[in-house]
Amino acid sequence: AQKITQTQPGMFVQEKEAVTLDCTYDTSDQSYGLFWYKQPSSGEMIFLIYQGSYDEQNATEGRYSLNFQKARKSANLVISASQLGDSAMYFCAMRVVDSNYQLIWGAGTKLIIKP
């Protein structure tokens, strides 16, 4: 069965520190995509970063990077030099052929950055 697990319901981090948000996934597909989204308190869902299952390099987008460990089936999001504006819910999601390419979502992690 296809599944995304985010084990951290909530996290508090000091401003300017790096943050790692955990995501593990389960699929028997060889081809899949992994995505991270940010949902601030205003409610919109913002796409952050994508990692393909065949990508050999970890994806990076500005202060966001994805620590992709295929053998461990983990796709952790790393935010460098956290800012107050990073406070939000963060969702990990996966898209696989077997799910008819629908996004499979984790439960999310609520990140709060402390000044």
Partner 1 sequence: DAGVIQSPRHEVTEMGQEVTLRCKPISGHDYLFWYRQTMMRGLELLIYFNNNVPIDDSGMPEDRFSAKMPNASFSTLKIQPSEPRDSAVYFCASSLGGGTIYEQYFGPGTRLTVT
Contacts with partner 1 by CB under 8 A lie at 31-33, 35, 37, 43-47, 50, 52-53, 91, 95-97, 100-103, 105, 107-108
- Closer of 18 and 45 to partner 1 (Cβ): 45
State phi, psi for 84 to the nearest 5 degrees. Answer: -55, -35
| CB-count exposure of residue 75 (10 Å: 0-12, 13-18, 19+) | buried
**Minimum CB distance to partner 1, residue 54 (Å):** 10
52 has which bridge partners?
A: 33
- Closer of 86 and 95 to partner 1 (Cβ): 95
**Minimum CB distance to partner 1, residue 23 (Å):** 15
Per-residue tokens: 47:
């796409």
- Closer of 13 and 77 to partner 1 (Cβ): 77
**Minimum CB distance to partner 1, residue 16 (Å):** 28
**Minimum CB distance to partner 1, residue 95 (Å):** 5
Q: C-alpha distances in angstroms, 60 versus 35, 51, 77, 95, 111?
A: 12, 9, 10, 19, 20
51 has which bridge partners?
A: 34
